[in-house]
C-alpha cells in the first residue's frame, strides 16, 4: 500500500469510525430515554415506596440517613448556614 493510500485509509477509518460511534450512542440515548419513559408510565415504582418511608420517619425511623424528608431538611439547613457564613 502506498503512503498516500495508507493515510487515506487512516483518515477514512477516523471519519467512519467516529461517525459510527456517535450515531450508535445517539441512538442508544434515544432508545434508553424511550425505554425509561415507557417503564415509568407502565410500572411506576417511585410513587409507592415514598409515602411508606415518610410514614416511617413520623414513627421515628432508626436510620436518619434513609429518610428522604429528614435528609432534605438537614441539607437545607446546612446550605442556609453556609450562605449566612459567606455574607
Partner 1 sequence: MDKVIALWEGSGLYNLELNALIMIAIGFLLLYLAIHKNFEPLLLVPIGFGGILANIPAAGLAYSAVEQMAHVGTVEQLNQLAAVLGVQVENYKQVLDAYYTAPAAVQGAAQELAADLNYANGMMYNFYSIAIGSTVAPLLIFMGVGAMTDFGPLLANPRTLFLGAAAQFGIFATVLGAVGLTSLGIMDFSVAQAAAIGIIGGADGPTAIYVSSVLAPELLGAIAVSAYSYMALVPMIQPPIMKALTTEKERAIEMVQLRHVSKLEKIMFPLVLLVLVALLLPDAAPLLGMFCFGNLMRECGVVDRLSDTAQNALINTVTIFLGLSVGSKLVADKFLSAETLGILSLGIVAFGIGTAAGVLMAKMMNLFSKQKINPLIGSAGVSAVPMAARVSNKVGLESNPHNFLLMHAMGPNVAGVIGSAVAAGVMIKYVSAL
Supply 85's cell numbers: 457564613
Q: How would DSSP label each residue in 25-67? A: HHHHHHHHHHHHHHHHHHS--STTHHHHHHHHHHT--S-GGG-
Decide if residue 21 touches partner 1 (CB under 8 A).
yes
Q: Is 80 in the site for partner 1 (CB under 8 A)?
A: no
Rule CB under 8 A: is residue 20 a binding residue for partner 1?
yes
d(CA 22, CA 34): 18
Is residue 14 involved in binding partner 1 (CB under 8 A)? yes
Binding site for partner 1 (CB under 8 A): 1, 3-4, 6-7, 9-11, 13-14, 16-18, 20-22, 24-29, 31-33, 35-36, 39-40, 43, 45-46
Amino acid at each position: 500500500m502506498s503512503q498516500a493510500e495508507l493515510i487515506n485509509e487512516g483518515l477514512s477509518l477516523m471519519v467512519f469510525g467516529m461517525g459510527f460511534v456517535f450515531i450508535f450512542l445517539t441512538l442508544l440515548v434515544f432508545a434508553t430515554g424511550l425505554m425509561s419513559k415507557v417503564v415509568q408510565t407502565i410500572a411506576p415504582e417511585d410513587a409507592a415506596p415514598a409515602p411508606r418511608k415518610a410514614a416511617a420517619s413520623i414513627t421515628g425511623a432508626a436510620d436518619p440517613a434513609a429518610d428522604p424528608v429528614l435528609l432534605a431538611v438537614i441539607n437545607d439547613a446546612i446550605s442556609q448556614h453556609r450562605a449566612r457564613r459567606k455574607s
